[in-house]
Amino acid sequence: MEMNIYNSLVSIILPNYNYEHFLPQRIQSILDQTYTNFELLILDDCSTDNSKRVIEGFKDKRISVYYNETNAGSPFPQWDKGIQLSKGKYIWIAEADDYCSETLLEKLLQKIESYKSDLCFAESKVVNEHGEEKGLWCDLNIKGPNKSIFKTDFEMNGQDFIEKNLIFENGIPNASAVLFKKELYKEIGGVDQNIPNCADWLLWIKMLSRGHVAFVSEPLNAFRRHGNSVINSIKKGDATGNKFYEYYSMTMRLALKKWLRNNSGKNTVHKINDAYILKDLSRKINWSKSNQSINESIKLSFQAFHISGFNPKYLLHIFR
Q: Please give the Cα distance from 28 to 102 (Å, whole number).
A: 10
Give the pLDDT band (50/70/90) at residue 151. Answer: very high
**What does the pLDDT look like over 248-271, one tens digit per residue?**
777 788 888 888 878 765 555 445
The residue among 285 and 191 whose pLDDT is bigger is 191
Give the pLDDT band (50/70/90) at residue 43. Answer: very high
Domain ranges of the chain: 3-226, 233-318
**What does the pLDDT look like over 196-237, one tens digit per residue?**
778 999 999 999 999 999 999 999 999 998 665 455 544 444
Give me the pLDDT at residue 280, please.
Answer: 52
Residue 118 and residue 212 in contact, taking contact as beta carbons nearer than 8 Å:
yes
**Virtual torsion, Cα 201, 203, 205, 211, nearest 10 deg:** -140
Q: Please give the Cα distance from 277 to 267 (Å, whole number).
A: 19
Is 312 a residue whose pLDDT tops 50?
A: no
SS3 state at 270: coil
Give me the pLDDT at residue 250, please.
Answer: 76
The residues, ordered by sequence, that sit 6+ positions from 136 with a Cβ below 8 Å of its Cβ are 123, 124, 125, 126, 219
Is 272 a residue whose pLDDT tops 60?
A: no
Give me the pLDDT at residue 251, please.
Answer: 79
The residue among 155 and 284 whose pLDDT is bigger is 155
Among 80-84, 179-183, 232-236, 285-289, name the one with the lowest average pLDDT: 285-289
**What does the pLDDT look like over 7-19, one tens digit per residue?**
899 999 999 999 9
Give me the pLDDT at residue 214, please.
Answer: 98
Q: Please give the Cα distance from 53 to 191 (Å, whole number).
A: 30
User: What does CATH list as the number for 3-226?
Assistant: 3.90.550.10
